[in-house]
C-alpha cells in the first residue's frame, strides 16, 4: 500500500491570528477509510479545506496522490470529491438537476452524464424524489444529494466534512451504508471528519483524534481503545464537591486501579476487571458515609481515549429536529 494523502507539520493561521491547525502530521493509505474525530472548533474543516485546495496553508506540507496542494490544485480537483459541511444543494433545482449541473462543471455531457446521474440517484436512494425541487428535501435527503453530487466524476478520494451531523439516527445509518459500499466495493479512499465517536468507531479503519488544532492520538479504533487498557467506572456522588477528594483517596489504594480522573459525573476510575471492583468501591464509600448517586461501568470507548488525552469529553451538537430543516427557504 502507498500513501495517497501525506501531511507533514501542517499549520494554518487565519488572518485574525487564530491558529486553527497547529502542526499536524498524518498519512492516509490508498483505499483506506480514514477518520478525523474531534469536537467543534478542533480544526477539522480547516484541514479539509487545505487538503481540497480551498484554503492556502501557512506552513508545512500536504500532498494528495503525490500532488502538492499549493502548486497542483487543478490536478487534485480532478481526482477528489468533496462534501463540505454546509450543503451546496441548489433548492430551486431538482435532485437530478443538481447532480447533472455538477457533472457539467466536470465537462461531462450526453449519455455519460445521464447514466451517471441515474446510477447516483439509485446509490443514495433518491430515485423517487429525483424530480422534486431540492428545497423540499429533508436534511437527510440534502446530505445524500450532496454526497451524490460529490461523486459525479468518479473521484478516487472522497473528502466528507461531518456528513451526518444534525441527522436523525435513521438517516445517519443510511449514509453509513452508502459510505461503506463506496469504500469496499469501489475502493474509494475516504477521509471523513466527525464529532460522533460511534461513527468513527463504526466506519474508520484508522483515525486521528484532533483537539485545538493538534492531533492527540492516532490508530485503529481497537488500538486506541486497547491503549486505555482498562474498563471505566463512572461514579457520580451526591455531593461531589465535598466528597471528591476523600473518595479518590479511598479508591486509590484498591488493587488493579490504573488511573482516577475528575470527570463530569464526578470521578472516573480506569481499572482492569472493573466488574469486580465496583462492589469494593461501593462498600468503601458507603462505610465512609459518602453517598453515591450512580455508578456506571463500560468497556473502553473512543470517548475514554479522548478523555485520557484531553481531560474532556467530546460534546456533540443537538440533533436537528426542526421541520424548518425540511422546508428551508430559498437560497
Ligand X SMILES: Nc1ncnc2c1ncn2[C@@H]1O[C@H](COP(=O)(O)OP(=O)(O)O)[C@@H](O)[C@H]1O
* Interface residues toward Mg ion, by CB under 5 A: 44-45, 85
- Residue 225 CA to residue 211 CA, distance in Å, equals 18
Q: Is 128 in the site for ligand X (CB under 6 A)?
A: no
Among residues 18 and 299, whose Cβ is nearest to ligand X?
18
How far is residue 26 from each of residues 34, 123, 132, 137, 183, measured CA to CA in Å?
Answer: 10, 31, 42, 37, 20
Among residues 62 and 120, whose Cβ is nearest to ligand X?
62
Q: Is 86 in the site for ligand X (CB under 6 A)?
A: no
**Based on the number of CB atoms within 10 Å of its own CB, is 323 exposed (0-12), middle (13-18) or buried (19 or more)?**
exposed
Among residues 16 and 289, whose Cβ is nearest to ligand X?
16
Among residues 16 and 185, whose Cβ is nearest to ligand X?
16
Q: What's the min distance (Å) between Cβ of 47 and ligand X? A: 7
Among residues 20 and 233, whose Cβ is nearest to Mg ion?
20
As given in the structure block, the three cell numbers for residue 66 are 503525490
Report the first-to-last Cα separation within the chain, whole angstroms. 43
As given in the structure block, the three cell numbers for residue 185 are 466495493
Name which of Mg ion, ligand X, none residue 42 binds, using a CB cut-off of 5 to 8 Å depending on partner kind. ligand X
Name which of ligand X, Mg ion, none residue 38 binds, using a CB cut-off of 5 to 8 Å depending on partner kind. ligand X
CB 279 within 8 A of CB 286: no
Taking CB under 6 A as the criterion, the residue among 31, 38, 155, 328 binding ligand X is 38
Q: What's the min distance (Å) between Cβ of 39 and ligand X? A: 7
Among residues 2 and 40, whose Cβ is nearest to ligand X?
40
Instruction: Name the DSSP class of 313.
Output: P
Q: What's the min distance (Å) between Cβ of 309 and ligand X? A: 16
Q: What's the min distance (Å) between Cβ of 43 and ligand X? A: 4
Q: Is 314 in the site for ligand X (CB under 6 A)?
A: no
- Residue 122 CA to residue 99 CA, distance in Å, equals 12
Q: Is 95 in the site for ligand X (CB under 6 A)?
A: no
Q: What's the min distance (Å) between Cβ of 271 and Mg ion? A: 35
Read off φ and ψ for residue 88, nearest 5 degrees.
-110, 10
**Helix residue spans in 190-295 (DSSP H):** 197-203, 221-228, 240-252, 274-287
Helix, strand, coil percentages in the chain from 3-state DSSP, rounded to 5? 40, 25, 35
Burial pattern 219-241, b for ≥16 Cβ within 10 A else e, equals: eebeebbeebebbbbbbebeebe
Q: Is 318 in the site for ligand X (CB under 6 A)?
A: no
Taking CB under 6 A as the criterion, the residue among 43, 81, 103, 166 binding ligand X is 43
- Residue 100 CA to residue 106 CA, distance in Å, equals 10
As given in the structure block, the three cell numbers for residue 106 are 466536470
Residues 169-198 touching ligand X, rule: CB under 6 A, are none
CB 247 within 8 A of CB 289: no
Q: What's the min distance (Å) between Cβ of 53 and ligand X? A: 16
Q: How many residues bind ligand X (CB under 6 A)?
A: 12
Q: Is 82 in the site for ligand X (CB under 6 A)?
A: no
Residues 44-63 touching ligand X, rule: CB under 6 A, are 44-46
Q: What's the min distance (Å) between Cβ of 83 and Mg ion? A: 12
Q: What's the min distance (Å) between Cβ of 152 and Mg ion? A: 23
Name which of Mg ion, ligand X, none residue 233 binds, using a CB cut-off of 5 to 8 Å depending on partner kind. none
> Site residues (CB under 6 A) for ligand X?
14, 16, 18, 20, 38, 40-46
Amino acid at each position: 500500500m502507498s500513501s495517497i494523502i501525506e501531511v507533514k507539520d501542517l499549520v494554518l493561521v487565519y488572518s485574525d491570528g487564530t491558529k486553527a491547525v497547529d502542526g499536524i502530521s498524518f498519512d492516509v493509505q490508498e483505499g483506506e477509510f480514514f477518520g478525523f474525530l474531534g469536537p467543534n472548533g478542533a480544526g477539522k474543516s480547516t484541514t479539509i479545506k487545505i487538503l481540497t485546495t480551498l484554503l492556502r496553508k501557512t506552513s508545512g506540507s500536504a500532498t494528495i496522490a503525490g500532488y502538492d496542494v499549493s502548486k497542483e490544485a487543478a490536478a487534485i480537483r480532478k481526482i477528489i470529491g468533496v462534501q463540505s459541511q454546509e450543503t451546496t444543494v441548489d433548492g430551486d433545482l431538482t435532485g437530478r438537476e443538481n447532480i447533472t449541473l455538477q457533472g457539467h462543471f466536470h465537462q461531462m455531457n450526453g449519455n455519460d452524464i445521464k447514466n451517471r446521474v441515474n446510477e447516483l440517484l439509485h446509490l443514495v436512494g433518491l430515485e423517487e424524489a429525483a424530480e422534486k425541487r431540492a428545497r423540499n428535501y429533508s436534511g437527510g435527503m440534502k446530505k445524500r444529494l450532496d454526497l451524490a453530487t460529490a461523486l459525479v466524476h468518479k473521484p478516487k478520494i472522497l473528502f466528507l466534512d461531518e456528513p451526518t451531523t444534525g441527522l436523525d439516527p435513521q438517516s445517519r445509518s443510511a449514509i453509513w451504508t452508502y459510505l461503506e459500499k463506496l469504500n469496499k466495493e469501489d475502493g474509494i479512499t475516504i477521509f471523513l471528519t466527525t464529532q460522533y465517536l460511534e461513527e468513527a468507531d463504526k466506519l474508520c479503519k484508522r483515525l486521528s483524534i484532533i483537539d485545538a488544532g493538534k492531533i492527540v492520538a492516532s490508530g485503529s479504533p481497537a488500538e486506541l481503545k486497547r491503549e486505555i487498557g482498562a474498563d471505566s467506572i463512572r461514579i457520580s456522588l451526591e455531593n461531589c464537591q465535598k466528597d471528591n477528594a476523600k473518595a479518590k483517596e479511598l479508591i486509590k489504594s484498591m488493587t488493579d486501579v490504573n488511573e482516577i480522573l475528575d470527570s463530569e459525573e464526578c470521578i472516573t476510575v480506569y481499572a482492569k476487571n472493573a466488574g469486580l471492583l465496583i462492589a469494593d468501591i461501593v462498600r468503601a464509600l458507603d462505610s465512609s458515609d459518602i453517598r453515591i448517586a450512580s455508578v456506571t461501568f463500560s468497556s473502553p470507548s473512543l470517548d475514554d481515549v479522548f478523555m485520557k488525552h484531553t481531560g474532556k469529553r467530546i460534546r456533540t451538537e443537538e440533533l436537528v429536529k426542526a421541520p424548518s430543516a425540511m422546508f428551508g427557504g430559498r437560497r
